[in-house]
Amino acid sequence: MILVRIAAALLVLACGGCEREARRFDDSPPPARPVTMSELEPGPRTMASTMRNPYEGNAWAISQGKRLFSQFNCVGCHGQGGGAIGPPLMDDEWIYGSEPENVFATIAQGRPNGMPAFGGKLNSQQIWQLVGYVQSLSGLIRKDVAPGRDDHMQRKAQEQSTDKMEPASSGIPASAEGRQ
Amino acid sequence: MILSLLQGWVGAHSALEPAGPQAGRIHALWQFMWVVSALVFLAVVGALLYAALHRRAAGQSAVNPDGVRSATRWVSIATGVSIAILIAFLGVNFVTARPLTSAPGDALQISVTGYQWWWSVQYPSATPSDQVTTANEIHVPVGRPVVMTLSSRDVIHSFWPANLVGKRDLIPGNKSSIWFQADTPGVYRGQCAEFCGHQHAKMGFLVVADPPAQFEAWLREQRDSAPPPPPGSATRGQEVFLAASCVMCHTIRGTPAGSRVGPDLTHLASRRTLAAATLENTRANLAAWISDPQRIKPGTLMPPADLTPADLAALLDYLETLR
């Protein structure tokens, strides 16, 4: 009986492991729904954001996001997450929201003061992969899914060993007001 | 006869059809080892048959009077011959491999960088504008030694143009090199020979050996930037290229597209193949590759382009002008 239980437990673990690594090459997940950034809106109140990243439990997709992050030159403005010309992505300040939908909209539609819109140039699969990686920079996704190594020398901690930083603020932080 | 059958089956990518001195030496070594091994095999089978068919004479035994099983005369001779053959193999191997390692000084330099799952090829020059970057097709002049400087941007690959020379690994963060010389003009297929991920099998390349004058002409053409497209559909195609996902990864010199993530497309239409020697370079194959690369090479890092049929046709018109 105990053997059966152990076998069942191993089977459950193995299935979880498969899901974590599943590579869905010709996947085209739906894009995020439009997000409202203000409480002022016409008509009845819309529901709060509930959309999840289709890749939030998929380590392979998040590592692809990490690859795209440097290939598409996100590092040019955001550094390796520490920020430079653009805001840092490894802290708890989220100007335009920390939910997957918010980050998707930021990448797809761009934001004022410099963030370009990548909507027509990246497909929804790539954007969702990037969303997962951006969230991993401040520990907002599971640690067993976050990337655990770099292909080059890097001084910051691995995404995998980044502790979760509860999103503290939304809106433009005081430190960035001067950039308006 | 078996050998000729084998050669016919292997086709263009074959170490048994050497097209240069290095491959010739390797081929001679292979033939020597093959003939000796065949003779040894025949001798062993013959001895086995003899032993099976001839009973030992009465009173004769492999166990000597002390009760110890000792080697008979024939076993001792065979052991001695085996040792001699292995030492001879070592010697011939050394003599074959030694001249393959050092390239002559006047060799042409080419750098090859491995990516998942294609090859970037650069012809360096002291003048930056004379540098040539292409992909998956390596042109070399006939009769001149060529040194390949090899590196990788992601995982370990291995460079193997079987008709010209043996294998050499491409290692991330490290530079290795290999040299060869093509004596016969022709197109030789090469292949990645180190498992490197999903599309390892479809990571091929071509080595095109041209007469020196033709090679120089090719190199001059490759130095040029892409000319502005003729008005009409091709111009529209260039706009599509620059507005769609293509521009995120590919370079076309002479346009704002300058990303180094995917292959350089400045002279795409002059190449013989698409997708690392996977498809013949035809308009239909190009359309299929752009629309749904995951169907042709599942796992390839090129995403499908979501284009309207009119935009795709214009894009193809433009890409066909990149000669």
Give the gap in angstroms from C-alpha A26 to the nearest C-alpha of chain B.
Answer: 6
Model confidence at B67: pLDDT above 70: no
* Secondary structure (3-state) at B130: helix
Is the separation of the CB atoms in B302 and B292 below 8 Å?
no
Q: How confident is the model over B146-166, as a mean pLDDT?
A: 93
Of B261, B290, B302, which to mutate for an interface test with A (greatest number of A Cβ within 10 Å)?
A: B261
Q: What is the pLDDT of residues B220-246, one digit of tens each?
A: 999 999 999 999 999 999 999 999 999
CA distance A20 to B240: 36
Neighbours of A157 (CB within 10 A): 11
Query: Which residue of B245, B295, B300 is in closest CB contact with A121?
Result: B245
* Closest CA in chain A for residue B305: A123
Pairing of strands B186-192, B204-210: antiparallel
Give the gap in angstroms from C-alpha B244 to the nearest C-alpha of chain A.
Answer: 5
Chain B residue numbers touching A123 (CB-CB < 8 A) = 245, 303-304, 306
Give the residue ranges of chain A where pLDDT is below 50. 178-180
User: Looking up tokens 């059809």, which residue turns up?
Assistant: B17
Choice among A164-168, B4-8, B65-69 with the minimum mean pLDDT: B4-8
Give the gap in angstroms from C-alpha A102 to the nearest C-alpha of chain B.
Answer: 22
Give the gap in angstroms from C-alpha A4 to the nearest C-alpha of chain B.
Answer: 36
| Mean predicted lDDT score pLDDT of chain B | 89
Buried b (16+ CB within 10 A) or exposed e, A95-118: bbbbbbbbbbbbbbbeeeeebeeb
Query: Which residue of B154, B248, B292 is in closest CB contact with A122?
Result: B248
Query: Which residue of A23, A72, A120 is in closest CB contact with B243?
Result: A120
Is the separation of the CB atoms in A91 and A138 below 8 Å?
yes
pLDDT of residue B2: 46
* Closest CA in chain B for residue A151: B154
Do the Cβ atoms of B245 and A25 come within 8 Å? Answer: no
Q: How many CB pairs under 8 A join A and B?
A: 33
pLDDT of residue B101: 82
Query: Which residue of B248, B292, B294 is in closest CB contact with A121?
Result: B248
**Sequential DSSP letters for B219-256:** HHHHHSPPPPPPTTHHHHHHHHHHHSGGGGT-B-TTSS
CA distance B31 to B23: 12
Q: Is the dihedral of CA B65, B66, B67, B72 positive or negative?
A: negative
Pairing of strands B273-274, B146-152: unpaired
| Greatest mean pLDDT range, A12-21, A75-84, B55-64, B269-278 | B269-278
Pairing of strands B279-280, B176-180: unpaired
Do the Cβ atoms of B303 and A23 come within 8 Å? Answer: no
Amino acid letter, B57: A
CA distance B238 to B245: 12
Choice among A33-42, A70-79, B173-182, B298-307 with the minimum mean pLDDT: A33-42
Q: What is the pLDDT of residues B203-224, one digit of tens each?
A: 999 999 999 999 999 999 999 9
CA distance B242 to A86: 24
pLDDT of residue A132: 93
Chain A residue numbers touching B172 (CB-CB < 8 A) = 151
Of A25, A27, A70, A71, which to mutate for an interface test with B (greatest number of B Cβ within 10 Å)?
A: A25
Query: Which residue of A25, A26, A123 is in closest CB contact with B245?
Result: A123
Of B245, B246, B251, B260, which to mutate for an interface test with A (greatest number of A Cβ within 10 Å)?
A: B245
pLDDT of residue A176: 52
pLDDT of residue A41: 63
Model confidence at B15: pLDDT above 50: yes
More confident residue, B137 or A31: B137
Query: Which residue of B245, B261, B298 is in closest CB contact with A122?
Result: B245
Chain A residue numbers touching B295 (CB-CB < 8 A) = 26
pLDDT of residue A83: 76
Give the gap in angstroms from C-alpha A165 to the nearest C-alpha of chain B.
Answer: 31
Chain B residue numbers touching A30 (CB-CB < 8 A) = none
CA distance B3 to B27: 13
For residue B98 the two structure tokens come to 């030694």
More confident residue, B60 or A132: A132
User: For B216, phi and psi rounded to 5 degrees?
Assistant: -60, -40
Amino acid letter, A6: I
What pTM does this model have?
Answer: 0.83
pLDDT of residue A180: 40
- Percent of chain B whose pLDDT exceeds 70: 92
Model confidence at B4: pLDDT above 60: no
Which of A99, A101, A85 shows the shortest CA–CA distance to A138? Answer: A99
Q: How confident is the model over B280-286, as a mean pLDDT?
A: 94
